[in-house]
Copies of this chain bind each other. A is one copy, B any other.
Amino acid sequence: MADERQLTRRGRERRDKLLAHATSRFAENGFHPTSVSEIVDSVGVGKGVFYWYFESKDQLLEEILREALRSLRSHQAAAIADAADPLHRLEAGIRASIEWSVANTDVLRLVMFGWSEETFAEVLRKGRDIVVTDTARLIEQAVDLGQIMGGNPTMMANAIRAIIDELGREYALSTRNHATGSPSGDAPPVDPEMVETAVRMCLHGLHG
């Protein structure tokens, strides 16, 4: 598929359906073990359709990863809009990120995979840097206001992202309950204790 094709509404719907099914199949079986034939079969179309909408299997995954970043950031942006000061914005961002992680466990698995191959790791690095920069900026502001102690903002932001990613995963990858079959958005329950622990660890560490 060329960079940008003129899609009709029917076309856009097909494309989205392929994206959704691919995400769910990849998450369940792994990227390489899932063949393109498997994806198109699960949607019920011929193989050519896939290559009408996507350049290649790799490019499809790259798009899934990029779209995930876009979705996460917009979720964060919406969440921190109301908060007044940097510290509260940080906390709101943390909560929003956890919510997003729990709601997108499929994508989290793909992110894990992505880090294991250079092609995708490059995409993820760029995305990660953007999110970390966002957070680091908030940390700097909070430091300037004397709300928290100083330090290397980038590293601190990375630590926060780490907690979010991994605590989210505790409920995402540990149990094997990612979307079985069709990608129906079954809102998973967010464990409040987990969220509070994550927030507390980000803000106060072990000393609570």
Residues of A within 8 A of B (CB): 28-33, 90, 109-110, 112-113, 115-118, 121, 125, 128, 139, 142, 148-152, 155-156, 158-163, 165-167, 169-170, 173-174, 176, 193-194, 197-198, 200-208
Contact of A193 among B29, B113, B155, B169 (CB under 8 A): B155
Q: Report whether B90 and A206 are in contact in the complex, using a CB–CB cutoff of 8 Å.
A: yes
Q: Report whether B166 and A166 are in contact in the complex, using a CB–CB cutoff of 8 Å.
A: yes
Residues of B with C-beta under 8 A to A112: 112-113, 115-116
Known: A148-B207, A204-B204, A205-B205. 14 other contacts (CB 8 A): A28-B118, A30-B116, A33-B117, A109-B116, A118-B176, A152-B197, A155-B167, A155-B193, A159-B166, A163-B163, A203-B205, A203-B206, A204-B206, A205-B207
- Main SS of chain A's interface residues? helix
In the assembly, how many copies of this chain are there?
2
Contact of A173 among B121, B150, B151, B206 (CB under 8 A): B121
Residues of B with C-beta under 8 A to A198: 155, 159
Whole-angstrom distance between the alpha carbons of A159 and B161 in the complex? 11
Whole-angstrom distance between the alpha carbons of A113 and B150 in the complex? 35
Residues of B with C-beta under 8 A to A121: 173
Q: Which residue of B lies closest to A193 (CB)?
A: B152
Residues of B with C-beta under 8 A to A197: 151-152, 155-156, 159
Q: Report whether B117 and A29 are in contact in the complex, using a CB–CB cutoff of 8 Å.
A: yes
Q: Report whether B207 and A204 are in contact in the complex, using a CB–CB cutoff of 8 Å.
A: yes
